[in-house]
A = this chain, B = another copy of it.
Amino acid sequence: MEYKSAERARTALVKKGLNKNMKKNIIVGQSGGPTAAINASLAGIIRGAMQSSEIGEIYGALNGIEGLLKRNIIDLRKSIKTAEDYDRLAATPAMALGSCRFKLPAAPHEKYDEILQIFKDYNIGYFFYIGGNDSMDTVKQLSNFFKEKGENISCIGVPKTIDNDLPVTDHTPGFGSAAKYIAGSIAEIALDSGVYDMFSVIVAEIMGRHAGWLAAATVLARDAVGSAPQLIYLPEAPFDEERFIEKVKNYSKEKKLLIIAVSEGIKNKNGEYLSAAGASVDGFGHVALAGVGKYLEELIKEKVGCKVRSIEFSVLQRAAGHFASATDIAEALRIGEEAVRAATGGQTGVMMTFERVSNAPYLVNYGSVPIEKCANLEKTIPAGWIIDGCDVSKEMVEYLRPLTTGRAPYFEKDGMPSYLFLNKEIVSK
């Protein structure tokens, strides 16, 4: 008999019952900020693991590495009873396992030995960490540590971030849903604030400290409502206050609504955040760092003197499961399944990736890259995709559009979302 891969060979052995001891358990954790798609990747990993004859128990670490170190470990098979449970988990925003903001100290450090001991106690052969930049660093550190120790534990990073700032991968699960929510909401704001027959300005402040992908995604609102947002400011291009005011004044000549989309992380030509400059004193005498939206609102009031309102999408933009992109959720599920395949196929120290084949029809391949190529690196918007410091190009639109397509499944009971909550009973070993 011939087998094309080590994976299949091992699967066959397990199937024949020749090597029952080869069955290893998996553990999954989630880390960093929430997205609408991060549980879809968790659902994908659970599904992939259930489909694999090489995998025994499916564990989840509560609150990422932090909970793992406390042995806050649960049995994920207990929460998935029906096929619909996957879909309900995938439709549940934020982290079903909880999150942490804990970064492993550089090795050597006793915490690595602690983790190894925990993995041995739970017979872990595969570790999956769903997260952003910092989480990929954790995967890299652990993978290197296990290799050095000669331990055969696969460590796979599954990307997620609404910011879309992870390198190598074409885009990141969670981004498409946040982009859809933000652009769709901008379209609704345009209808809402455009009902009066007068000039007024809306400044929409959008997440993104260093990379402006989310603010750039507001360009899609033009597909729905025409010209809004008319101006888009990104952290990748220095912000010129005088030119900005001049542009707003020009728009004020038209008797209609002007919508300005702005990344929270825009900076002036000296590289200083605009929000820091806009500090004000609150009712309690504290210096409050005003958001950039509020700052620009005050600036427009002062320099143009028109009706202006700033809107902050705040945390709503990262967990809007009710308005998630079908494409995003489907891809997040699939990348989870592919991560299990990569792990059982012998990979370690890699991050899963999307490679875009074409925009129309939209096609991606699933792959993986050595995690050194991703950890602690940021992908910002190419300079050529930014127009005149206040707009984005056709290439950007073509890049973005497929990622927001379709409405993801959403479950309701009596008008409210029906989420899947995990059974969080701790499994002690």
Contact = CB atoms under 8 A, between A and B. Distances in A.
B67 A191 contact: no
Contacts of A187: 416-417, 419
Interface in A94-151: 94-95, 98-101
B196 A63 contact: yes
A180 interface: yes
Given A188-B320, A223-B414, A416-B187, A195 B309 contact: no
Interface stretch (A81-89, A239-247, A280-288): A280-288
Interface stretch (A19-27, A338-346, A405-413): A405-413
A277 B283 contact: yes
B224 A418 contact: yes
A92 interface: yes
A34 interface: yes
Nearest to A412: B407
Contact of A192 (B288, B315, B414): B315
B311 A221 contact: no
Residue of A30, A187, A415 with most chain B CB atoms under a 10 A cut-off: A415
A223 B401 contact: no
Contacts of A171: none
Given A189-B319, A286-B298, A302-B284, A415 B419 contact: no
Contacts of A323: 322-323
A184 B416 contact: yes
A189 B315 contact: yes
A417 B224 contact: yes
Contacts of A223: 413-416
Contacts of A265: none
Residue of A101, A323, A410 with most chain B CB atoms under a 10 A cut-off: A323
A192 B39 CA distance: 12
A197 interface: yes
Interface in A179-237: 180, 183-185, 187-189, 191-197, 220-221, 223-225
Given A94-B192, A191-B419, A223-B416, 20 more contacts: A34-B191, A62-B197, A66-B197, A93-B191, A94-B194, A94-B195, A98-B196, A184-B416, A188-B321, A192-B319, A220-B415, A224-B418, A284-B302, A311-B314, A316-B316, A325-B415, A327-B415, A404-B414, A406-B415, A407-B410
Interface of A: 30, 34, 62-63, 66-67, 92-95, 98-101, 180, 183-185, 187-189, 191-197, 220-221, 223-225, 277, 282-284, 286, 288, 294-295, 298-299, 301-302, 309, 311-312, 314-316, 318-323, 325, 327, 401-407, 410, 412-419
19 contacts: A98-B195, A100-B196, A100-B197, A180-B415, A183-B415, A188-B319, A188-B320, A188-B417, A191-B419, A192-B319, A223-B416, A277-B283, A284-B299, A284-B301, A309-B314, A309-B315, A311-B315, A312-B314, A323-B323
